[in-house]
Structure 1
């Protein structure tokens, strides 16, 4: 019985801690922060973070867009440019558009991809 009470008390304490933390604002990566990480020359750590983050944004777009309910807005023609070329273009875009600096990086990166790789109009 004591073990059950200790387990319940630990669970209640953990639940309270998780609830308190869930009320904290979620910090999202800004466009300026992503541009800073992706600038060349980059350290191996920065490059890995930049490639991982930008690839995850595009992969999430591909995985969550329902082809029958949402028309594509990013259409990469093959052969696709290199990843480094696209990232360099994004850094340039971010530097030339300072109004995006404080915006969430994921949304700005998707907008950049849509402008860089528009789909053909039907």
Structure 2
């Protein structure tokens, strides 16, 4: 029985080291822009809307209002998603240095610039 536990522990350590070395690809800003450019296929539009909405929703869900002041403040009524995505594509074209950066971070930066909170 001890041999089985030792074998399982060794196997777990081996698998853990393999996972630690695995590099997980991250969507670049240019890849997101390529998907979001208009006219887009229904599949591309769905991916673009879903991905950008998930970025913003994650920002809202993970920001603790008492510990971190908001830096993105979308006034209501909010602009249409397609308008915001189109602005992001233009923003990315005017900031080519960000094309190889992770899309989520650049999109959050764009949202912060486009929808700044009062008092900043």
Aligned twin of 2:65: 67
Report the TM-score, using the length of structure 1 for normalisation: 0.85
Q: Are residue 119 (structure 1) and residue 117 (structure 2) matched?
A: yes
The 3 A distance-change label for structure 1 pair 38 and 15 is farther
Superposed CA RMSD in Å reads 2.2
Unmatched tracts of structure 1, length 5 or more: none
Cα deviation 1:53-106 (Å, max 9, x = unaligned): 100100000000000000000000011000000000000101111011011100
**Superposed, which structure 2 residues align to 1:80-119 within 5 Å?**
80-119=78-117
Structure 2 unmatched ranges of 5 or more = none
The aligned length equals 119
Task: After superposition, give the CA deviation of every residue in 1:8-32 in whole Å (9 maximum; x if it has no partner).
Answer: x899768745642442112111100
Indicate the residue corresponding to 2:56 in structure 1. Answer: 58
2:28 alignment counterpart = 30
Q: 1:22 to 1:45 in 2, by over 3 A?
A: farther
* TM-score normalised by the chain length of structure 2: 0.86
Q: Measured at CA, do residues 43 and 15 of structure 1 come closer, stay the same or move farther in structure 2, by a change above 3 Å?
A: farther
